[in-house]
A and B are shown apart, each in its own frame.
Chain A
Amino acid sequence: MTEATTNRTPTISVRNLRKKFRVSNAAIGGLKTLLLWWKKRSVREFEVLKGLDFDCYPGECVSVIGRNGAGKSTLLAILARVYRQTSGEVKVNGRIAPLLELGAGFHPDLTGMENIIFNGVVLGLSRKQIRERIPQIIEFSELGDSINSPVRSYSSGMLARLGFAVAIHVDADILLVDEVLSVGDYAFEQKCYDRVDRFRKEGGTILMVSHNLQAVERFSDRCVWLKDGQMVMSGLPDEVLAAYLSDQASAQAEETSKPD
Protein backbone atom coordinates (compact mmCIF):
# COMPACT_ATOMS: atom_id res chain seq x y z
CA MET A 1 0.00 0.00 0.00
CA THR A 2 1.43 3.35 -0.93
CA GLU A 3 1.59 6.37 1.30
CA ALA A 4 -1.10 8.20 -0.64
CA THR A 5 -3.75 5.52 -0.33
CA THR A 6 -3.52 5.11 3.41
CA ASN A 7 -4.99 8.54 4.05
CA ARG A 8 -8.07 8.02 1.95
CA THR A 9 -11.23 6.25 2.97
CA PRO A 10 -11.53 2.86 1.36
CA THR A 11 -14.24 2.29 -1.27
CA ILE A 12 -14.49 -1.34 -0.29
CA SER A 13 -13.82 -2.51 3.21
CA VAL A 14 -14.19 -6.14 4.21
CA ARG A 15 -13.77 -7.43 7.76
CA ASN A 16 -13.78 -11.05 8.83
CA LEU A 17 -16.01 -12.01 5.93
CA ARG A 18 -17.42 -15.52 6.07
CA LYS A 19 -19.76 -17.33 3.77
CA LYS A 20 -21.23 -20.75 4.31
CA PHE A 21 -23.29 -22.61 1.77
CA ARG A 22 -25.68 -25.36 2.71
CA VAL A 23 -26.21 -28.22 0.37
CA SER A 24 -28.94 -30.67 1.22
CA ASN A 25 -29.22 -34.07 -0.33
CA ALA A 26 -32.87 -33.52 -1.22
CA ALA A 27 -33.68 -32.87 -4.83
CA ILE A 28 -34.59 -29.37 -5.95
CA GLY A 29 -37.58 -28.13 -4.02
CA GLY A 30 -40.66 -30.16 -4.12
CA LEU A 31 -43.52 -30.27 -1.80
CA LYS A 32 -41.98 -33.41 -0.37
CA THR A 33 -39.18 -31.39 1.15
CA LEU A 34 -41.68 -28.98 2.61
CA LEU A 35 -43.97 -31.65 3.98
CA LEU A 36 -41.13 -33.61 5.50
CA TRP A 37 -39.47 -30.59 7.02
CA TRP A 38 -39.15 -32.21 10.44
CA LYS A 39 -37.34 -35.19 8.98
CA LYS A 40 -33.66 -34.74 9.40
CA ARG A 41 -31.89 -34.54 6.10
CA SER A 42 -28.20 -34.69 5.78
CA VAL A 43 -27.40 -31.08 5.13
CA ARG A 44 -23.81 -30.55 4.19
CA GLU A 45 -22.38 -27.21 5.05
CA PHE A 46 -19.22 -25.87 3.59
CA GLU A 47 -17.47 -22.66 4.20
CA VAL A 48 -16.34 -20.93 1.04
CA LEU A 49 -14.91 -17.84 2.68
CA LYS A 50 -13.25 -18.26 6.04
CA GLY A 51 -12.72 -14.79 7.37
CA LEU A 52 -11.36 -12.31 4.86
CA ASP A 53 -10.04 -8.84 5.62
CA PHE A 54 -9.07 -6.33 3.00
CA ASP A 55 -9.61 -2.80 1.71
CA CYS A 56 -9.67 -1.23 -1.72
CA TYR A 57 -9.00 2.44 -2.32
CA PRO A 58 -10.10 4.88 -5.01
CA GLY A 59 -8.05 4.64 -8.19
CA GLU A 60 -6.81 1.19 -7.29
CA CYS A 61 -7.07 -1.97 -9.31
CA VAL A 62 -7.00 -5.03 -7.11
CA SER A 63 -6.97 -8.46 -8.63
CA VAL A 64 -7.89 -11.65 -6.87
CA ILE A 65 -6.17 -14.84 -7.91
CA GLY A 66 -6.42 -18.39 -6.74
CA ARG A 67 -7.39 -21.84 -7.93
CA ASN A 68 -10.91 -22.85 -8.82
CA GLY A 69 -13.05 -23.04 -5.71
CA ALA A 70 -10.88 -20.68 -3.71
CA GLY A 71 -13.86 -18.35 -3.20
CA LYS A 72 -13.00 -15.61 -5.68
CA SER A 73 -16.33 -15.47 -7.44
CA THR A 74 -18.23 -15.82 -4.18
CA LEU A 75 -16.36 -12.80 -2.86
CA LEU A 76 -17.33 -10.74 -5.88
CA ALA A 77 -20.94 -11.91 -5.68
CA ILE A 78 -21.12 -10.85 -2.02
CA LEU A 79 -19.74 -7.41 -2.90
CA ALA A 80 -22.31 -7.17 -5.69
CA ARG A 81 -24.97 -8.02 -3.07
CA VAL A 82 -26.07 -11.10 -4.94
CA TYR A 83 -25.25 -13.23 -1.90
CA ARG A 84 -25.53 -12.17 1.67
CA GLN A 85 -22.56 -13.02 3.85
CA THR A 86 -22.96 -15.47 6.72
CA SER A 87 -21.03 -13.19 9.03
CA GLY A 88 -18.56 -10.36 8.92
CA GLU A 89 -18.77 -6.84 7.67
CA VAL A 90 -18.81 -5.45 4.14
CA LYS A 91 -18.73 -1.70 3.64
CA VAL A 92 -19.04 -0.32 0.16
CA ASN A 93 -18.60 3.36 -0.47
CA GLY A 94 -20.07 4.24 -3.81
CA ARG A 95 -21.99 2.62 -6.61
CA ILE A 96 -21.01 -0.78 -7.90
CA ALA A 97 -21.26 -1.99 -11.49
CA PRO A 98 -20.79 -5.72 -11.49
CA LEU A 99 -19.53 -7.31 -14.69
CA LEU A 100 -20.10 -10.79 -13.36
CA GLU A 101 -21.30 -12.06 -16.67
CA LEU A 102 -21.71 -9.73 -19.58
CA GLY A 103 -25.18 -9.46 -20.96
CA ALA A 104 -26.69 -11.53 -18.17
CA GLY A 105 -29.59 -9.17 -17.70
CA PHE A 106 -30.56 -8.93 -21.34
CA HIS A 107 -33.94 -10.09 -22.45
CA PRO A 108 -33.72 -11.84 -25.82
CA ASP A 109 -37.01 -10.49 -27.17
CA LEU A 110 -36.21 -6.84 -26.53
CA THR A 111 -34.06 -4.74 -28.81
CA GLY A 112 -30.57 -3.67 -27.89
CA MET A 113 -31.89 -0.19 -27.21
CA GLU A 114 -34.62 -1.38 -24.84
CA ASN A 115 -32.10 -3.56 -23.07
CA ILE A 116 -29.73 -0.62 -22.60
CA ILE A 117 -32.46 1.25 -20.78
CA PHE A 118 -33.38 -1.72 -18.63
CA ASN A 119 -29.79 -2.56 -17.75
CA GLY A 120 -28.88 1.05 -17.08
CA VAL A 121 -31.74 1.39 -14.63
CA VAL A 122 -30.80 -1.89 -12.93
CA LEU A 123 -27.30 -0.47 -12.49
CA GLY A 124 -28.71 2.58 -10.75
CA LEU A 125 -29.22 5.32 -13.35
CA SER A 126 -32.48 7.12 -13.86
CA ARG A 127 -34.14 6.67 -17.23
CA LYS A 128 -33.38 10.26 -18.09
CA GLN A 129 -29.69 9.78 -17.37
CA ILE A 130 -29.53 6.60 -19.40
CA ARG A 131 -31.27 8.22 -22.38
CA GLU A 132 -28.63 10.94 -22.40
CA ARG A 133 -25.91 8.31 -22.58
CA ILE A 134 -27.45 6.12 -25.25
CA PRO A 135 -25.51 7.69 -28.16
CA GLN A 136 -22.18 7.13 -26.36
CA ILE A 137 -23.12 3.57 -25.46
CA ILE A 138 -24.12 2.72 -29.02
CA GLU A 139 -20.95 4.27 -30.35
CA PHE A 140 -18.77 2.40 -27.89
CA SER A 141 -20.46 -0.92 -28.56
CA GLU A 142 -19.97 -0.49 -32.34
CA LEU A 143 -23.38 -2.06 -32.90
CA GLY A 144 -24.69 0.54 -35.34
CA ASP A 145 -28.15 -0.21 -36.66
CA SER A 146 -28.28 -3.60 -34.95
CA ILE A 147 -29.18 -1.71 -31.81
CA ASN A 148 -32.80 -1.79 -32.95
CA SER A 149 -32.89 -5.55 -33.52
CA PRO A 150 -33.87 -8.01 -30.82
CA VAL A 151 -30.94 -9.14 -28.74
CA ARG A 152 -31.63 -12.79 -29.57
CA SER A 153 -30.22 -12.14 -33.03
CA TYR A 154 -26.89 -10.92 -31.60
CA SER A 155 -23.70 -12.89 -31.70
CA SER A 156 -21.93 -13.54 -28.41
CA GLY A 157 -19.35 -10.89 -29.30
CA MET A 158 -22.07 -8.30 -29.89
CA LEU A 159 -23.71 -9.20 -26.57
CA ALA A 160 -20.43 -8.86 -24.73
CA ARG A 161 -19.72 -5.50 -26.36
CA LEU A 162 -23.13 -4.13 -25.47
CA GLY A 163 -22.86 -5.41 -21.90
CA PHE A 164 -19.49 -3.82 -21.39
CA ALA A 165 -20.56 -0.57 -23.03
CA VAL A 166 -23.52 -0.22 -20.67
CA ALA A 167 -21.56 -1.11 -17.53
CA ILE A 168 -18.76 1.35 -18.26
CA HIS A 169 -21.15 4.22 -18.94
CA VAL A 170 -23.17 4.15 -15.74
CA ASP A 171 -20.69 6.25 -13.73
CA ALA A 172 -20.07 3.57 -11.16
CA ASP A 173 -17.40 4.09 -8.52
CA ILE A 174 -16.48 0.44 -8.38
CA LEU A 175 -16.21 -2.12 -11.16
CA LEU A 176 -16.35 -5.78 -10.26
CA VAL A 177 -14.90 -7.76 -13.11
CA ASP A 178 -15.10 -11.53 -13.27
CA GLU A 179 -13.05 -12.87 -16.17
CA VAL A 180 -14.87 -10.82 -18.72
CA LEU A 181 -12.44 -8.34 -20.14
CA SER A 182 -11.47 -10.62 -22.98
CA VAL A 183 -14.53 -9.83 -25.02
CA GLY A 184 -14.74 -9.55 -28.74
CA ASP A 185 -11.73 -9.17 -30.98
CA TYR A 186 -8.32 -7.79 -30.16
CA ALA A 187 -9.14 -4.20 -31.13
CA PHE A 188 -12.19 -4.14 -28.93
CA GLU A 189 -10.31 -5.71 -26.06
CA GLN A 190 -7.75 -2.91 -26.28
CA LYS A 191 -10.54 -0.36 -26.28
CA CYS A 192 -11.96 -1.95 -23.13
CA TYR A 193 -8.61 -1.88 -21.40
CA ASP A 194 -8.10 1.77 -22.37
CA ARG A 195 -11.52 2.63 -21.03
CA VAL A 196 -10.82 0.74 -17.80
CA ASP A 197 -7.55 2.63 -17.43
CA ARG A 198 -9.36 5.92 -17.82
CA PHE A 199 -11.94 4.80 -15.28
CA ARG A 200 -9.14 4.15 -12.83
CA LYS A 201 -7.42 7.47 -13.45
CA GLU A 202 -10.71 9.18 -12.70
CA GLY A 203 -10.63 7.61 -9.27
CA GLY A 204 -12.64 4.44 -9.88
CA THR A 205 -11.88 1.24 -8.02
CA ILE A 206 -11.58 -2.04 -9.86
CA LEU A 207 -11.73 -5.44 -8.24
CA MET A 208 -11.12 -8.19 -10.71
CA VAL A 209 -10.90 -11.93 -10.72
CA SER A 210 -8.80 -13.47 -13.40
CA HIS A 211 -6.91 -16.55 -14.38
CA ASN A 212 -5.11 -14.54 -17.00
CA LEU A 213 -1.96 -13.83 -15.01
CA GLN A 214 -0.50 -11.55 -17.68
CA ALA A 215 -3.53 -9.30 -17.44
CA VAL A 216 -3.21 -9.36 -13.66
CA GLU A 217 0.39 -8.31 -13.81
CA ARG A 218 -0.26 -5.62 -16.36
CA PHE A 219 -3.25 -3.97 -14.76
CA SER A 220 -3.36 -4.40 -11.06
CA ASP A 221 -1.73 -2.29 -8.41
CA ARG A 222 -2.26 -4.98 -5.86
CA CYS A 223 -2.90 -8.66 -5.93
CA VAL A 224 -4.73 -10.80 -3.41
CA TRP A 225 -4.17 -14.54 -3.38
CA LEU A 226 -7.01 -16.65 -2.05
CA LYS A 227 -6.66 -20.30 -1.14
CA ASP A 228 -9.51 -22.36 0.31
CA GLY A 229 -11.39 -19.27 1.38
CA GLN A 230 -8.49 -17.62 3.12
CA MET A 231 -6.10 -14.93 2.10
CA VAL A 232 -2.59 -16.30 1.69
CA MET A 233 -0.90 -13.15 0.58
CA SER A 234 -1.61 -9.62 -0.48
CA GLY A 235 0.81 -7.19 -2.04
CA LEU A 236 2.51 -6.11 -5.22
CA PRO A 237 1.42 -8.20 -8.20
CA ASP A 238 4.83 -9.54 -9.21
CA GLU A 239 5.63 -10.70 -5.67
CA VAL A 240 2.26 -12.36 -5.12
CA LEU A 241 2.27 -13.90 -8.58
CA ALA A 242 5.74 -15.35 -8.05
CA ALA A 243 4.68 -16.92 -4.76
CA TYR A 244 1.44 -18.19 -6.30
CA LEU A 245 3.21 -19.77 -9.26
CA SER A 246 5.82 -21.49 -7.14
CA ASP A 247 3.08 -22.84 -4.87
CA GLN A 248 1.22 -24.12 -7.91
CA ALA A 249 4.36 -25.73 -9.25
CA SER A 250 5.14 -27.48 -5.98
CA ALA A 251 1.54 -28.65 -5.67
CA GLN A 252 1.78 -30.06 -9.16
CA ALA A 253 5.10 -31.76 -8.39
CA GLU A 254 3.57 -33.33 -5.32
CA GLU A 255 0.65 -34.53 -7.39
CA THR A 256 2.85 -36.19 -9.98
CA SER A 257 5.27 -37.72 -7.50
CA LYS A 258 2.41 -39.39 -5.65
CA PRO A 259 2.63 -43.16 -6.08
CA ASP A 260 -0.42 -44.67 -7.77
Chain B
Amino acid sequence: MKEELRELWRYRELLFTIVERDLRIRYKNSALGFLWSLIIPIVTTGVLTFVYGYLANNGVSNFSAYVMAAYLPYLFFQQSILDSAQSVLSQVPLIKKIYFPRELLPLGIIIANFIHLLLGWLVFFAFLGFIYIRNPQVNPFQFSTIQLPLLMLISLFLSTGLGLIVSALNTFYEDVKYLTGVAMYLLFFLSPITYTSETVAYSAINQRTNGVLFSLYHLNPIAALSTGYRQALLAPVSITIGNTTHPPIGMKPMYLYIAAAVSVVVLIGGYALFNRMKWRFVERP
Protein backbone atom coordinates (compact mmCIF):
# COMPACT_ATOMS: atom_id res chain seq x y z
CA MET B 1 0.00 0.00 0.00
CA LYS B 2 2.93 2.30 0.71
CA GLU B 3 4.09 2.07 -2.89
CA GLU B 4 0.58 2.77 -4.15
CA LEU B 5 0.35 5.88 -2.01
CA ARG B 6 3.65 7.11 -3.35
CA GLU B 7 2.40 6.55 -6.89
CA LEU B 8 -0.76 8.45 -6.01
CA TRP B 9 1.32 11.36 -4.78
CA ARG B 10 3.29 11.42 -8.02
CA TYR B 11 0.01 11.73 -9.92
CA ARG B 12 -1.49 14.44 -7.70
CA GLU B 13 -1.52 16.91 -10.56
CA LEU B 14 -3.70 14.56 -12.58
CA LEU B 15 -6.06 14.24 -9.62
CA PHE B 16 -6.62 18.01 -9.62
CA THR B 17 -7.14 17.92 -13.35
CA ILE B 18 -9.70 15.12 -13.05
CA VAL B 19 -11.57 17.10 -10.38
CA GLU B 20 -11.49 20.18 -12.59
CA ARG B 21 -12.69 18.17 -15.57
CA ASP B 22 -15.51 16.65 -13.53
CA LEU B 23 -16.68 20.06 -12.33
CA ARG B 24 -16.48 21.47 -15.85
CA ILE B 25 -18.37 18.63 -17.51
CA ARG B 26 -21.12 18.60 -14.93
CA TYR B 27 -22.48 21.98 -15.97
CA LYS B 28 -20.89 22.23 -19.39
CA ASN B 29 -24.07 22.45 -21.40
CA SER B 30 -26.18 24.43 -18.94
CA ALA B 31 -26.74 28.16 -19.13
CA LEU B 32 -26.22 28.84 -15.41
CA GLY B 33 -23.18 26.61 -15.18
CA PHE B 34 -21.45 26.42 -11.84
CA LEU B 35 -24.17 28.54 -10.21
CA TRP B 36 -26.26 25.36 -10.04
CA SER B 37 -23.99 24.18 -7.23
CA LEU B 38 -25.27 27.10 -5.16
CA ILE B 39 -28.83 27.19 -6.48
CA ILE B 40 -29.62 23.63 -5.44
CA PRO B 41 -28.84 24.09 -1.71
CA ILE B 42 -30.53 27.53 -1.73
CA VAL B 43 -33.73 26.17 -3.23
CA THR B 44 -33.64 23.15 -0.90
CA THR B 45 -33.32 25.43 2.13
CA GLY B 46 -36.20 27.57 0.88
CA VAL B 47 -38.52 24.64 0.31
CA LEU B 48 -37.61 22.97 3.62
CA THR B 49 -38.22 26.24 5.48
CA PHE B 50 -41.65 26.49 3.93
CA VAL B 51 -42.51 22.85 4.58
CA TYR B 52 -41.32 22.72 8.22
CA GLY B 53 -42.49 26.25 8.98
CA TYR B 54 -46.04 25.93 7.66
CA LEU B 55 -46.98 22.50 6.37
CA ALA B 56 -45.36 20.16 8.87
CA ASN B 57 -44.49 22.37 11.82
CA ASN B 58 -43.23 20.17 14.65
CA GLY B 59 -42.77 22.98 17.14
CA VAL B 60 -39.04 23.33 16.64
CA SER B 61 -38.23 26.80 15.39
CA ASN B 62 -36.11 26.88 12.24
CA PHE B 63 -36.34 23.13 11.90
CA SER B 64 -35.23 23.49 8.27
CA ALA B 65 -31.74 24.40 9.53
CA TYR B 66 -31.70 21.15 11.52
CA VAL B 67 -32.65 19.20 8.44
CA MET B 68 -30.03 20.94 6.31
CA ALA B 69 -27.28 20.32 8.89
CA ALA B 70 -27.79 16.58 8.49
CA TYR B 71 -28.95 16.52 4.88
CA LEU B 72 -25.96 18.31 3.29
CA PRO B 73 -23.40 15.76 4.54
CA TYR B 74 -25.80 12.94 3.70
CA LEU B 75 -26.12 14.29 0.16
CA PHE B 76 -22.35 14.35 -0.15
CA PHE B 77 -22.14 10.75 1.05
CA GLN B 78 -24.89 9.53 -1.25
CA GLN B 79 -23.73 11.39 -4.32
CA SER B 80 -20.09 10.38 -3.84
CA ILE B 81 -20.95 6.72 -3.67
CA LEU B 82 -23.51 6.68 -6.48
CA ASP B 83 -21.11 8.60 -8.76
CA SER B 84 -18.19 6.37 -7.76
CA ALA B 85 -20.12 3.28 -8.82
CA GLN B 86 -19.90 4.33 -12.46
CA SER B 87 -16.54 6.09 -12.26
CA VAL B 88 -14.30 3.24 -13.39
CA LEU B 89 -16.83 1.42 -15.57
CA SER B 90 -17.57 4.50 -17.66
CA GLN B 91 -13.86 5.09 -18.23
CA VAL B 92 -12.87 1.55 -19.24
CA PRO B 93 -12.15 2.71 -22.82
CA LEU B 94 -9.74 5.31 -21.44
CA ILE B 95 -7.93 3.02 -19.02
CA LYS B 96 -7.50 0.47 -21.80
CA LYS B 97 -5.37 3.01 -23.61
CA ILE B 98 -3.31 4.70 -20.98
CA TYR B 99 -1.90 4.17 -17.53
CA PHE B 100 -2.57 6.23 -14.46
CA PRO B 101 -3.47 5.06 -10.97
CA ARG B 102 -7.04 3.86 -11.42
CA GLU B 103 -8.08 5.10 -8.00
CA LEU B 104 -7.87 8.64 -9.36
CA LEU B 105 -11.24 8.07 -11.06
CA PRO B 106 -13.33 7.53 -7.90
CA LEU B 107 -11.14 9.90 -5.88
CA GLY B 108 -11.66 12.74 -8.35
CA ILE B 109 -15.41 12.31 -8.20
CA ILE B 110 -15.42 12.24 -4.41
CA ILE B 111 -13.34 15.41 -4.21
CA ALA B 112 -15.64 17.16 -6.69
CA ASN B 113 -18.59 16.23 -4.47
CA PHE B 114 -16.67 17.44 -1.43
CA ILE B 115 -16.35 20.84 -3.09
CA HIS B 116 -20.12 20.84 -3.50
CA LEU B 117 -20.47 20.08 0.19
CA LEU B 118 -18.30 23.11 0.99
CA LEU B 119 -20.54 25.27 -1.18
CA GLY B 120 -23.53 23.79 0.63
CA TRP B 121 -22.09 24.86 3.99
CA LEU B 122 -21.64 28.35 2.57
CA VAL B 123 -25.37 28.49 1.87
CA PHE B 124 -26.10 26.96 5.29
CA PHE B 125 -24.15 29.62 7.20
CA ALA B 126 -25.68 32.36 5.07
CA PHE B 127 -29.06 30.96 6.11
CA LEU B 128 -28.06 31.04 9.78
CA GLY B 129 -27.02 34.67 9.25
CA PHE B 130 -30.43 35.34 7.75
CA ILE B 131 -32.13 33.76 10.78
CA TYR B 132 -30.00 35.93 13.07
CA ILE B 133 -30.93 39.13 11.20
CA ARG B 134 -34.61 38.27 11.46
CA ASN B 135 -34.40 37.52 15.17
CA PRO B 136 -31.30 39.11 16.74
CA GLN B 137 -32.30 38.01 20.30
CA VAL B 138 -31.09 34.47 19.65
CA ASN B 139 -27.68 33.84 18.16
CA PRO B 140 -27.99 30.67 16.07
CA PHE B 141 -24.23 30.28 15.66
CA GLN B 142 -22.61 27.74 17.97
CA PHE B 143 -19.09 27.69 19.30
CA SER B 144 -18.96 23.93 18.68
CA THR B 145 -18.97 24.65 14.94
CA ILE B 146 -15.18 24.32 15.18
CA GLN B 147 -15.78 20.53 15.20
CA LEU B 148 -17.09 20.75 11.65
CA PRO B 149 -13.75 20.02 9.87
CA LEU B 150 -13.27 16.92 12.00
CA LEU B 151 -16.76 15.64 11.22
CA MET B 152 -16.19 16.31 7.54
CA LEU B 153 -12.96 14.36 7.66
CA ILE B 154 -14.83 11.34 9.03
CA SER B 155 -17.45 11.73 6.28
CA LEU B 156 -14.71 12.01 3.68
CA PHE B 157 -12.95 8.86 4.89
CA LEU B 158 -16.18 6.88 4.96
CA SER B 159 -17.26 8.07 1.51
CA THR B 160 -13.84 7.45 0.01
CA GLY B 161 -13.58 3.95 1.44
CA LEU B 162 -17.05 2.95 0.30
CA GLY B 163 -16.60 4.75 -3.01
CA LEU B 164 -13.46 2.70 -3.74
CA ILE B 165 -15.23 -0.53 -2.85
CA VAL B 166 -18.32 0.26 -4.90
CA SER B 167 -16.36 1.46 -7.94
CA ALA B 168 -14.19 -1.67 -7.97
CA LEU B 169 -17.06 -4.11 -7.50
CA ASN B 170 -19.39 -2.36 -9.94
CA THR B 171 -16.81 -2.71 -12.68
CA PHE B 172 -17.39 -6.46 -12.60
CA TYR B 173 -20.85 -6.82 -11.11
CA GLU B 174 -23.20 -4.16 -12.32
CA ASP B 175 -25.85 -5.16 -9.80
CA VAL B 176 -23.77 -3.32 -7.23
CA LYS B 177 -24.91 0.00 -8.63
CA TYR B 178 -28.58 -0.87 -8.07
CA LEU B 179 -27.90 -2.36 -4.67
CA THR B 180 -26.14 0.80 -3.49
CA GLY B 181 -28.98 2.88 -4.91
CA VAL B 182 -31.46 0.98 -2.75
CA ALA B 183 -29.14 1.07 0.27
CA MET B 184 -28.74 4.86 -0.02
CA TYR B 185 -32.47 5.31 -0.32
CA LEU B 186 -33.16 3.26 2.81
CA LEU B 187 -30.28 4.80 4.74
CA PHE B 188 -31.87 8.19 4.28
CA PHE B 189 -34.93 7.13 6.27
CA LEU B 190 -32.92 5.13 8.78
CA SER B 191 -30.83 8.16 9.73
CA PRO B 192 -31.97 11.18 11.73
CA ILE B 193 -32.20 13.60 8.83
CA THR B 194 -35.85 14.60 8.59
CA TYR B 195 -36.34 13.86 12.30
CA THR B 196 -34.10 14.16 15.33
CA SER B 197 -32.31 11.51 17.35
CA GLU B 198 -34.36 12.70 20.34
CA THR B 199 -37.44 11.42 18.54
CA VAL B 200 -35.77 8.02 18.44
CA ALA B 201 -34.67 8.23 22.07
CA TYR B 202 -38.18 9.05 23.31
CA SER B 203 -39.97 6.62 21.05
CA ALA B 204 -42.08 4.02 22.85
CA ILE B 205 -40.11 1.13 21.41
CA ASN B 206 -36.82 2.57 22.65
CA GLN B 207 -38.25 3.18 26.12
CA ARG B 208 -39.39 -0.45 26.25
CA THR B 209 -35.95 -1.72 25.26
CA ASN B 210 -34.24 0.53 27.84
CA GLY B 211 -32.33 2.46 25.22
CA VAL B 212 -30.81 -0.51 23.45
CA LEU B 213 -32.47 0.52 20.21
CA PHE B 214 -31.04 4.02 20.48
CA SER B 215 -27.55 2.58 20.86
CA LEU B 216 -27.98 0.18 17.97
CA TYR B 217 -29.41 2.96 15.85
CA HIS B 218 -26.35 5.12 16.34
CA LEU B 219 -23.92 2.34 15.50
CA ASN B 220 -24.80 3.24 11.92
CA PRO B 221 -22.04 5.75 11.17
CA ILE B 222 -24.36 7.88 9.03
CA ALA B 223 -26.85 8.16 11.90
CA ALA B 224 -24.07 9.07 14.34
CA LEU B 225 -22.65 11.59 11.91
CA SER B 226 -26.05 13.17 11.20
CA THR B 227 -26.58 13.74 14.89
CA GLY B 228 -22.96 14.83 15.26
CA TYR B 229 -23.27 17.52 12.60
CA ARG B 230 -26.51 18.76 14.09
CA GLN B 231 -25.07 18.98 17.60
CA ALA B 232 -21.98 20.77 16.40
CA LEU B 233 -23.77 23.33 14.26
CA LEU B 234 -27.02 24.10 16.07
CA ALA B 235 -28.48 24.64 19.52
CA PRO B 236 -30.06 21.58 21.16
CA VAL B 237 -33.82 21.33 20.81
CA SER B 238 -36.60 20.00 22.99
CA ILE B 239 -39.09 17.89 21.14
CA THR B 240 -42.76 17.32 21.75
CA ILE B 241 -44.30 13.88 21.37
CA GLY B 242 -48.02 13.82 22.03
CA ASN B 243 -48.52 16.30 24.87
CA THR B 244 -45.22 15.90 26.65
CA THR B 245 -42.19 17.99 25.83
CA HIS B 246 -38.89 16.20 26.29
CA PRO B 247 -35.62 17.97 27.01
CA PRO B 248 -32.78 17.54 24.51
CA ILE B 249 -30.35 14.70 25.04
CA GLY B 250 -26.81 14.77 23.79
CA MET B 251 -25.47 11.84 21.88
CA LYS B 252 -22.51 10.28 23.65
CA PRO B 253 -19.26 11.13 21.84
CA MET B 254 -18.53 7.40 21.87
CA TYR B 255 -20.81 6.93 18.87
CA LEU B 256 -18.79 9.44 16.90
CA TYR B 257 -15.60 7.65 17.88
CA ILE B 258 -17.13 4.42 16.62
CA ALA B 259 -18.12 6.14 13.37
CA ALA B 260 -14.57 7.50 13.01
CA ALA B 261 -13.05 4.07 13.65
CA VAL B 262 -15.42 2.42 11.17
CA SER B 263 -14.55 5.08 8.58
CA VAL B 264 -10.82 4.53 8.92
CA VAL B 265 -11.24 0.75 8.67
CA VAL B 266 -13.50 1.13 5.63
CA LEU B 267 -11.00 3.49 4.00
CA ILE B 268 -8.01 1.21 4.49
CA GLY B 269 -9.96 -1.93 3.62
CA GLY B 270 -11.55 -0.26 0.60
CA TYR B 271 -8.22 0.90 -0.74
CA ALA B 272 -6.71 -2.55 -0.25
CA LEU B 273 -9.64 -4.16 -2.09
CA PHE B 274 -9.40 -1.62 -4.91
CA ASN B 275 -5.69 -2.22 -5.31
CA ARG B 276 -6.23 -5.96 -5.45
CA MET B 277 -8.81 -5.60 -8.19
CA LYS B 278 -7.55 -2.65 -10.20
CA TRP B 279 -5.30 -4.53 -12.62
CA ARG B 280 -8.20 -6.67 -13.71
CA PHE B 281 -10.45 -3.74 -14.66
CA VAL B 282 -9.12 -3.68 -18.23
CA GLU B 283 -9.47 -7.46 -18.54
CA ARG B 284 -13.11 -7.32 -17.63
CA PRO B 285 -14.95 -9.91 -19.73
Residue A197 CB within 8 A of the other chain: no
- Chain A: residues with Cβ within 8 Å of the partner, total of 34
Q: What A residues does B282 contact at CB under 8 A?
A: 82-83
Asked if B98 contacts A105 (CB within 8 A), the reply is yes
Residue B97 lies at the interface, judged by CB distance under 8 Å to chain A: yes
Q: Is A183 positioned at the interface, with any CB of B under 8 Å from its CB? A: no
Q: What is the distance, in angstroms, from B277's C-beta to the closest C-beta of chain A?
A: 12
Stretch from A23-31, A49-57, A252-260 that touches the partner? A23-31
B window 1-58: CB within 8 A of A:
13-14, 16-18, 21, 24-25, 28-29
Contact with B along A217-232 (1 / 0, CB 8 A): 0000000000000000
Question: Are A105 and B14 neighbours in the complex by a CB distance under 8 Å?
Answer: no
**Binary contact readout B162-194 vs A (1 if CB under 8 angstroms, 0 otherwise):** 000000000111111001000000000000000
CA distance A185 to B263 in the complex (A): 55
Our pick among A26, A28, A81, A118 for the contact of B99 (Cβ within 8 Å) is A81
Q: Given A121-B13, A121-B14, A122-B14, verify A21-B283 contact (CB < 8 Å).
A: yes
Number of B residues with CB within 8 Å of any CB on chain A? 30
- In the complex, which of the residues B18, B21, B94 contacts A104, with contact meaning CB atoms closer than 8 Å? B94
B208 to chain A, nearest CB (A): 38
Q: Report which of A105, A110, A123 forms a contact with B28, defined as CB distance below 8 A.
A: A110
Q: Contact: B25 with A100, CB < 8 Å?
A: no
CB-CB under 8 A for A118 and B21, given A30-B175, A34-B173, A105-B97 = yes
**Contact for B29 among A82, A109, A114, A123, CB less than 8 A:** A109
B21 touches A105 (CB 8 A): no
**Residue among B16, B29, B99 with the most chain A CB within 10 A?**
B99
CA of A84 to CA of B284, assembled, Å: 13
- B95 CB within 8 Å of chain A: yes
With contacts A28-B284, A127-B17 taken as known, whether A114 is within 8 angstroms of B97 at the C-beta atoms is no
- Bound Cα distance A257, B282 (Å): 41
Q: A102's closest neighbor in chain B, by CB? A: B97
Measured CB to CB, the closest approach of chain A to B104, in angstroms, equals 10
Complex contacts, B16 vs chain A, CB 8 Å = 127
Is the CB–CB distance between A29 and B285 below 8 Å? yes
Question: With the chains together, A113 CA to B25 CA distance in Å?
Answer: 14
Contact of B285 among A23, A80, A100, A107 (CB under 8 A): A23
With a CB–CB cut-off of 8 A, which chain A residues contact B284? 28-29
Query: How close is A116's CB to chain B, nearest CB, in angstroms?
Result: 11
Chain A residue nearest in CB terms to B95 = A82
Report if B100 contacts A (CB, 8 A): yes
> Counting CB contacts under 8 A, is A194 at the interface?
no
A residues 121-150 in Cβ contact with B at 8 Å: 121-123, 126-127
Q: Which residues of B contact A (CB under 8 A)?
A: 13-14, 16-18, 21, 24-25, 28-29, 93-100, 171-176, 179, 279, 282-285
25 A–B pairs (Cβ distance < 8 Å), ordered by A: A26-B285, A29-B174, A31-B175, A33-B172, A33-B173, A34-B173, A34-B175, A80-B98, A82-B97, A82-B99, A82-B282, A83-B279, A83-B283, A84-B279, A98-B98, A100-B98, A101-B97, A104-B97, A105-B94, A107-B21, A110-B21, A118-B21, A121-B14, A121-B17, A127-B16
A residues at B contact (CB < 8 Å): 21-24, 26-31, 33-34, 77, 80-84, 98, 100-101, 104-105, 107, 109-110, 114, 117-118, 121-123, 126-127
A-B pairs, top 5 by smallest CB distance, nearest first, are A81-B99, A104-B97, A31-B175, A29-B172, A29-B173
